[in-house]
Amino acid sequence: MASIALKSFIGLRQTTSENKSIVLSKPTTQTHRNFRINASKSSPRVTGRNLRVAVVGGGPAGGAAAETLAKGGVETFLFERKLDNCKPCGGAIPLCMVGEFDLPLDIIDRRVTKMKMISPSNVAVDIGRTLKPHEYIGMVRREVLDAYLRDRATTAGATVINGLFLKMDLPKSTGSPYVLHYSDYNTKTGGAGEKKTVEVDAVIGADGANSRVAKNINAGEYEYAIAFQERIKISDDKMKYYEDLAEMYVGDDVSPDFYGWVFPKCDHVAVGTGTVTHKGDIKKLQIATRLRARDKIEGGTIIRVEAHPIPEHPRPRRVLDRVALVGDAAGYVTKCSGEGIYFAAKSGRMCAEAIVEGSENGKRMVDESDLRKYLEKWDKTYWPTYKVLDVLQKVFYRSNPAREAFVEMCADEYVQKMTFDSYLYKKVVPGNPLDDLKLAVNTIGSLVRANALRKEMEKLSV
Ligand SMILES: Cc1cc2nc3c(=O)[nH]c(=O)nc-3n(C[C@H](O)[C@H](O)[C@H](O)COP(=O)(O)OP(=O)(O)OC[C@H]3O[C@@H](n4cnc5c(N)ncnc54)[C@H](O)[C@@H]3O)c2cc1C
């Protein structure tokens, strides 16, 4: 997160047999959200019902997608295998998400206004100094956020099915339905659930990093990081320190290619780290992260241990026919910061909007060209952000001297302002040319010093 601001001067500124077959149908009585329809379509009208779309996965991507579809007149089925799921996650969200997704403040545990960036030698820089009084980073518990978004989808008219998606049969001819096979946990048949199928016209795969929908359409693999997190309950006294403060630790000890974090929640802190290159060492890296924060979390009790993959880049295929992937299933987490909640919700909504528009509020069949509109819009809006963070990770997370240089740069108020503006609002902030130049010179200075330091350290270790 801390480095989005630097984009401006890097030159990337751009704009079974016992299966029961059922056909679910539910007349929608909701007020439809009216989307602007730009061109009349030649695709066939659906008759006697509205377009049916299955959203697999009830995280932020799935919840946002299902709400938008239902509001847009589409008959929507949202599948979630675990309705009380606690997705392993730091739960940091940008301010713009609160506004754009109309999130009530009572689902946000903490409003962080002080973010400490801590170097390998434990030099701490407070990078929240330029925040305006109303600005903050939201800290949520995922079990709370995800349930809220799913409930809102239900209110909009979506049918939430507590079920595990197993596989789907692809259409045998143009316009014929997808048949989704799932274990239904709504029924009282014990732990394994009841095997059922449902027919739909289109599918949104929002089932996270281990997406079965992605496998069903041979979407290809992506490189991934493994992230580990412990929720630690600390005393009220110690919690005061983290009231509105979060920490990010960088260094070879906590991660060779990512960062460690302490993020505050309602009555505990989430302490974690991640890595792509040293997955086998993840527990060692976690211990090191805990050690770095030891004074502040001393006496705490670990109340939950969690780990999950984080995608490193989009999958080779994100749309096929009438199936689209969104969120982690598509691979929309930014490098460097590991941020994915906002991008998941946003991609879910964007994909659903494309379906609503393409189907003229659920009245017509959609095809691949409708779903591709979502991809085009997504790539145009966010490709530069992903690219810049990719470059920054390579430059600043490669060695301890480079990380020291990175933290040194974070002390600059201009860097902080650009960083927070970019993070909080997800917009490329136009820089001040003179300040951009000064920043470029300072960055080069920091990197030269980091390089010299690295060479000296290499000599010492010979
Ligand atoms: C340790 C860690 C810390 C992180 N910290 C942050 C952070 O602070 N800020 C941030 O922005 N991002 C963070 N991320 C990334 C973020 O968690 C993801 O990008 C985000 O959760 C993606 O949302 P999603 O809806 O695409 O997928 P998920 O949140 O993974 O949701 C997928 C949903 O699908 C359900 N599901 C999966 N398979 C099936 C199936 N077969 N049938 C039915 N349901 C299914 C799952 O139960 C789950 O509810 C972190 C990730 C990790 C691992």
3-class SS letters over the chain = CCCHHHHHHHCCCCCCCCCEEECCCCCCCCCCCCCCCCCCCCCCECCCCCCEEEEECCCHHHHHHHHHHHHCCCEEEEEECCCCCCCCCCCEECHHHHHHCCCCHHHCCEEECEEEEECCCCCEEECCCCCCCCCCEEECCHHHHHHHHHHHHHHHCCEEEEEEEEEEECCCCCCCCEEEEEEECCCCCCCCCEEEEEEECEEEECCCCCCHHHHHCCCCCCCEEEEEEEEEECCHHHHHHCCCEEEEEEECCCEEEEEEEEEECCCCEEEEEEECCCHHHHHHHHHHHHHHCHHHHCCCEEEEEEEEEEECCCCCCCEECCEEECHHHHCCCCCCCCCCHHHHHHHHHHHHHHHHHHCCCCCECCCHHHHHHHHHHHHHHHHHHHHHHHHHHHHHCCCHHHHHHHHHHHCCHHHHHHHHHHHHHCCCCCCCHHHHHHHHHHHHHHHHHHHHHHHHHHHHHC
φ/ψ of residue 402, rounded to 5: -65, -35
Is residue 240 scored above 80 in pLDDT?
Answer: yes
Compute the distance from residue 217 Cα to the ligand 1 centre, in Å: 20
pTM for this predicted structure: 0.88
Task: In whole angstroms, give the CA distance from residue 392 to residue 384.
Answer: 12
Is residue 265 scored above 60 in pLDDT?
Answer: yes
Nearest CA owner, ligand 1 atom 38:
207
Compute the distance from residue 328 Cα to the ligand 1 centre, in Å: 7
Higher pLDDT, 426 or 310: 310
Nearest CA owner, ligand 1 atom 34:
57
Is residue 291 scored above 70 in pLDDT?
Answer: yes
In the block, residue with structure tokens 């946000």: 108
pLDDT at residue 16, as a whole number: 32
pLDDT at residue 192, as a whole number: 82
pLDDT at residue 185, as a whole number: 94
Q: At 23, is the pLDDT very low, low, confident or very high (cuts 50, 70, 90)?
A: very low
Is residue 12 scored above 70 in pLDDT?
Answer: no
Compute the distance from residue 37 Cα to the ligand 1 centre, in Å: 32
* One-letter amino acid for residue 208 of the chain: G
Q: Express each pLDDT in 44-69 by its tens digit.
A: 999 999 999 999 999 999 999 999 99
Ligand 1, atom nearest to 87 Cα: 29
Task: In whole angstroms, give the CA distance from residue 178 to residue 77.
Answer: 13
Average per-residue pLDDT for the chain: 87
Distances (CA, A) of 400 to 254, 338, 449, 451: 11, 19, 12, 10
Q: CA quadruple 93, 95, 99, 103: dihedral positive or negative?
A: positive
Is residue 244 scored above 80 in pLDDT?
Answer: yes
Is residue 151 scored above 90 in pLDDT?
Answer: yes
pLDDT at residue 20, as a whole number: 35
pLDDT at residue 15, as a whole number: 29
For 388-413, what is the mean pLDDT? 85
| Angle between helices 413-425 and 433-461 in degrees, nearest 10 | 100
* One-letter amino acid for residue 409 of the chain: M
Nearest CA owner, ligand 1 atom 15:
340
Compute the distance from residue 206 Cα to the ligand 1 centre, in Å: 9
**Which tokens hold the place of 172?**
């045998």
Ligand 1, atom nearest to 263 Cα: 8
For 256-275, what is the mean pLDDT? 97
Q: At 25, is the pLDDT very low, low, confident or very high (cuts 50, 70, 90)?
A: very low
Look at 65-69, 74-78, 282-286, 435-439 and tell me which has the smallest mean pLDDT.
435-439
What's 20-86+143-220+316-384's CATH class? alpha beta
Is residue 388 scored above 90 in pLDDT?
Answer: no
Higher pLDDT, 28 or 192: 192
Is residue 32 scored above 70 in pLDDT?
Answer: no
Compute the distance from residue 400 Cα to the ligand 1 centre, in Å: 30
Compute the distance from residue 388 Cα to the ligand 1 centre, in Å: 23
Q: At 31, is the pLDDT very low, low, confident or very high (cuts 50, 70, 90)?
A: very low
User: CATH 3.30.9.10 occupies which residues in the chain?
Assistant: 223-311
Q: Express each pLDDT in 209-218 by its tens digit.
A: 999 999 999 9
The CATH topology of domain 223-311 is D-Amino Acid Oxidase; Chain A, domain 2 (3.30.9)
Closest CA to 153 of 245, 71, 43: 71
Compute the distance from residue 339 Cα to the ligand 1 centre, in Å: 11
Ligand 1, atom nearest to 345 Cα: 25
Compute the distance from residue 142 Cα to the ligand 1 centre, in Å: 9
**CB-CB contact of 118 with 262 (8 Å):** no
Among 89, 98, 229, say which to mutate for ligand 1: greatest number of ligand atoms within 8 Å of CB.
89
Compute the distance from residue 59 Cα to the ligand 1 centre, in Å: 6
pLDDT at residue 186, as a whole number: 81
For 177-182, what is the mean pLDDT? 98
Q: Express each pLDDT in 85-134 by its tens digit.
A: 999 999 999 999 999 999 999 999 999 999 999 999 999 999 888 899 99
Compute the distance from residue 209 Cα to the ligand 1 centre, in Å: 7
For 203-232, what is the mean pLDDT? 97
User: Which protein residues touch ligand 1 with a CB less than 6 Å away?
Assistant: 56-62, 79-82, 85, 87-92, 164-165, 206-208, 212, 227, 229, 272, 308, 310, 327-329, 333, 338-342, 344
Ligand 1, atom nearest to 82 Cα: 47
Q: CA quadruple 259, 260, 264, 265: dihedral positive or negative?
A: positive
Ligand 1, atom nearest to 182 Cα: 42
Among 77, 81, 224, say which to mutate for ligand 1: greatest number of ligand atoms within 8 Å of CB.
81
For 240-244, what is the mean pLDDT? 97
Higher pLDDT, 335 or 205: 205
Nearest CA owner, ligand 1 atom 9:
92
Closest CA to 118 of 284, 296, 276: 296
User: CATH 3.50.50.60 occupies which residues in the chain?
Assistant: 20-86+143-220+316-384
